[in-house]
Amino acid sequence: KQEVTQIPAALSVPEGENLVLNCSFTDSAIYNLQWFRQDPGKGLTSLLLIQSSQREQTSGRLNASLDKSSGRSTLYIAASQPGDSATYLCAAAYSGAGSYQLTFGKGTKLSVIP
Amino acid sequence: ETGVTQTPRHLVMGMTNKKSLKCEQHLGHNAMYWYKQSAKKPLELMFVYNFKEQTENNSVPSRFSPECPNSSHLFLHLHTLQPEDSALYLCASSLDSGIYEQFFGPGTRLTVL
């Protein structure tokens, strides 16, 4: 059974700081890895998707990396802002019995202090 | 409306009630998904529909009954639920159930008394 682990479970940083969120997965046979943002009581917003053949993806202040051999992905957030406060989820995509499925981590709750 | 919408956003029901959750996608996708998000647990995939056909049922209890009348609409019919079924239920869609990005709705917060 595939498992995705995110560390830390919660993180609090002062505004302006650069930070790294970690995600590890047990099965390296992933198709892609996706990072999502979830605001309290809301749905998921996709931030970045890294295909298994890629090493990293960038969008604005966000950079996500993927190392399949070690089973790790990181999400780097530069110059953090209070508006970045949310829960960040990573999800690894695997082939299921009838479809491709996402296995999610529990998330890292980020608080950026003004 | 754009993206994936879900109604209602909040629902409180007793264990003997019957209710339904609705999801609609306006993206022209062919695959739709139901996920359950419980407190302190990862999102769990419940059901997958591709071109209106159910392709995945992740051992979900029969008190949850999905319905997909067309590629744009997905329902989750609820009956005789338990308090532990209280959770955020998220709907998602993708181009099809292959390796395509999934787009999520805002969710329905369900409380079972």
pLDDT tens digits along A8-24: 999 999 999 999 999 99
Contact B33, B92 (CB under 8 A): yes
Closest CA to B102 of A39, A37, A44, A21: A44
- The average confidence (pLDDT) of chain A is 93
B1 confidence band (pLDDT: 50, 70, 90): low
Q: Does A36 touch chain B (CB under 8 A)?
A: yes
B12 confidence band (pLDDT: 50, 70, 90): very high
- C-alpha span between A102 and A99 (Å, rounded): 10
The confidence score (pLDDT) of residue A78 equals: 98
pLDDT tens digits along B91-103: 999 998 877 889 9
Of A42, A93, A99, which has the smallest distance from its Cβ to B56's Cβ? Answer: A99
Residue B85 DSSP symbol: G
The 10 Å CB-count burial string (b at 16+, else e) for B11-45 is bebeeeeebebbbbbeeebbbbbbbbbeeeebbeb
For residue A76, pLDDT beyond 70: yes
Q: Do B55 and A49 touch (CB under 8 A)?
A: no
Q: Do B48 and A32 touch (CB under 8 A)?
A: no
* Residue B50 structure tokens: 């591709």
For residue B8, pLDDT beyond 70: yes
Q: Does A76 touch chain B (CB under 8 A)?
A: no
For residue A55, pLDDT beyond 70: yes
Residue type, A29: A
Closest CA to B58 of B83, B35, B90: B35
Handedness of CA B59, A29, A5, B3 (dihedral sign): negative
A42 confidence band (pLDDT: 50, 70, 90): confident
For residue B22, pLDDT beyond 90: yes
The confidence score (pLDDT) of residue B20 equals: 97
Q: Does A94 touch chain B (CB under 8 A)?
A: no
Residue A14: strand pairing partners? A113
The confidence score (pLDDT) of residue B2 equals: 80
Contact A89, A44 (CB under 8 A): yes
Cα of A50 to nearest chain B Cα, Å: 11
Query: Average pLDDT in the A72-83 region?
Result: 97
Secondary structure (3-state) at B52? coil
Distances, alpha carbon B10 to alpha carbons A42, B7, B112, in Å: 11, 8, 11
